[in-house]
Amino acid sequence: MTGDGYPTNPMRNLLLPALAACLLYPAPSSQAQETPADREPAGDTTVDPGGDATTTLSGEPLDQELQALEEAYAEEVIKVRRELGEKYLVALKRLQDELTVRRQIEQALLVKMERERVADLLETAPAIEAPTAGAQPLVTVRLSPSRARCSGGAEYDESRKGIRNWTAAGAAALWDLDAEMPPGSYEVIAHYSAGRDAGGGFEVVDQVGDPVRGRVSTDRSSDWDDKKDMLVGQLVISADSQTLSVTCTSLRQPYLWVLRGITLGPEGTWREIEEKGAQEDGDKPKKPARRPLGELRVLEGARLLISDPGSGDSFFVRHDGETIHIRLYGVDAPHPSRQNPMNRTLLGKSGIEADAKDLHAIGKKGWSFVRTYLRSGPFRIYTYMEESRTDDRYYAYVVKGGSTLGEALVTRGLAIPAPPSAPLPDGTKPADYSKKLNAAAEAARSEKLGIWKLQKPSK
């Protein structure tokens, strides 16, 4: 510890002397400083290099030059003081985090006090009314999702033009910043989509500064097709910044969002985006009506995408270069994730008295069965392109060997019946298909297969 009670640290020893000069001493001001005219008697003199004699000259032009030079350097001192102070705050934050990790809480609190003191000094420092000569104006930069390096499960999806699979804290996207990007304080705007079964927290940070944090909140009206914009906050990009990252910090639901890009811009960028969005909403045509059920589409030669985690009743397929998210007609299957709230909803539908957290094991078995079932031979997908009410999935019947995948799941206790809204490809009415599924479910219940094995004994 030092004599003033602050922890001894090489960063502090390096930064404090320079900081004392720039932060603690007032910057020169053209209004407060004495000019040579204030110090000298009336009438300016210049010294004769050849002797002691002086010659009186008119000094007005010299005074003007000195005053202009003084004002220019006053602005430079203010600018340097602020930049150094901001870097010092970043260094203090790193030190505070290191001390916290080492559980040196008392020293971490002292560093925090120093951060607050420096922040107060910066707030009271005079602002530069006009940019100094040669200063670069801030630019607006759009970071495309296709150029991000993803980790933690997040990945770019060309069909959605965004980064998806934000299903765990730590999922992240990283962009390289242009080396010529002018340093300064930028507004951070996120462009995204989120259905009602999404939400959570995230942070945006460059590799040398403090993060700005945002939160995705959704409700029953949220739709994955709706493109949204969010002002996350102000982020200081320094001359040392090389990358910018977006990281999921928490999940309220199984999915955070589909991230469609990040915009960095000077003050006023968010207002322009808001105004443009309002104009577009006023001119936006209504969403086209869904296809009528009479237009049946048959997908032959489709391939299951096992790299995209699914469940028994919902998965991705690839067909003719198009990625399609399928939702089976007539069944509800547990989700493999422990946190998925739909598992609790499924328990309510089935009438089973069991713990929702145990359903994820059945969900894993269901997804494993789908992978094996659809990879063991050819299958057809019949869809009316009827969209799910909550996201961009399309309801469909998957048929193999004369029977549906939904029926195979229910027979094994890996799904429960749900009322279908469309006839089968062979003309079977939805009500008749429901009766068939209910009979299969009753047989699985009596044999205690799959989900029915979780039924707790009655007290």
Tell me the three-class secondary structure of 153-214, residue by residue. Answer: CCEEECCCCEEECCCCCCCEEEEECCCCCCCEEEEEEEEEECCCCECEEEEEEECCCCCEEE
- Residue located via tokens 């003033």: 4
Non-local (6+) Cβ contacts of 7 within 8 A are 1, 95, 99, 104, 107, 110, 111
**Cα–Cα distance measured from residue 340 to residue 385, given in angstroms and rounded to the nearest whole number:** 25
**What is the Cβ-side half-sphere exposure of residue 397, based on CA atoms within 13 angstroms?**
25
**Quick one: pLDDT at residue 32?**
41
CA-CA-CA-CA torsion sign (276, 282, 283, 287): positive
Q: Give residue 211's pLDDT.
A: 83
Tell me the backbone φ, ψ of residue 399, rounded to 5 degrees. -115, 135
**Domain ranges across the chain:** 10-47+55-124, 141-283, 297-454
What pLDDT shows up at residue 132? 44
The rounded distance, in Å, linking the Cα atoms of 346 and 328 is 15
CATH 2.40.50.90 for domain 297-454: yes
Q: Please state, in angstroms and rounded to a whole number, the distance separating the CA atoms of residues 368 and 445.
A: 21
User: What does the alpha-carbon distance between residue 35 and residue 449 come to, in Å, rounded to a whole number?
Assistant: 94
Does CATH number 1.10.1780.10 belong to domain 141-283? no
Crossing angle between the packed helical segments 342-350 and 359-375, to the nearest 10 degrees: 90
At 418, give phi and psi (nearest 5°). -140, 145
DSSP 242: -
Q: pLDDT (tens digit, 0 to 9) for every residue of the chain, 459 residues total?
A: 444 444 444 444 444 444 544 444 444 444 444 444 444 444 443 334 344 433 333 444 556 666 666 666 666 666 676 677 777 877 787 787 777 767 777 787 788 788 777 777 766 665 544 444 455 688 899 999 999 999 999 999 888 889 999 988 889 999 998 877 888 889 999 999 988 778 888 999 886 667 888 888 776 567 777 888 998 888 888 888 888 999 998 887 678 899 999 999 988 888 888 877 655 555 544 444 444 455 788 999 998 887 656 788 888 888 888 888 888 999 988 887 765 656 666 666 666 766 666 788 888 899 999 999 998 889 999 988 776 655 567 889 999 988 999 999 999 999 999 888 889 988 899 999 999 999 999 999 999 999 888 876 654
Kindly compute the dihedral angle of the four CA atoms of residues 346, 452, 372, 340, in this order, to the nearest 10 degrees: 30
- Pair type for strands 403-404 and 394-400: antiparallel
Tokens 């392109």 sit at which residue? 385
Sign of CA dihedral 364, 330, 346, 198: positive
Q: What integer pLDDT is reported at residue 143 of this predicted model?
A: 93
CB 82 within 8 A of CB 126: no
Distance CA 258, CA 434 (A): 35
- Which residue, among 77, 90, 176, has the nearest Cα to 132 in the 3D structure? 77
* DSSP three-state, residue 347: helix
Residue 392 has a pLDDT of 64
**60-101 and 10-19 are packed helices; what angle lies between their axes, rounded to 10 degrees?**
160
What is the pLDDT, as a whole number, of residue 147? Answer: 92
**pLDDT in the model for residue 158:** 85
Quick one: which of 127, 141, 220 has its CA closest to 175? 141
E strands present in 66-146: 141-143
- Regarding pTM above 0.75, the answer is no
What DSSP character marks residue 356? G
Beta strands in 91-171 (DSSP E): 141-143, 149-151, 155-157, 162-164
Q: In this predicted model, what pLDDT tens digit does every residue of 75-124 receive, in sequence order?
A: 666 667 667 777 787 778 778 777 776 777 778 778 878 877 777 776 66
Interior/surface letters 388-422, b for 16+ CB within 10 angstroms, e for the rest: eebbbbbbbbbbeeeebbbbbbbbbbbbbbbebeb
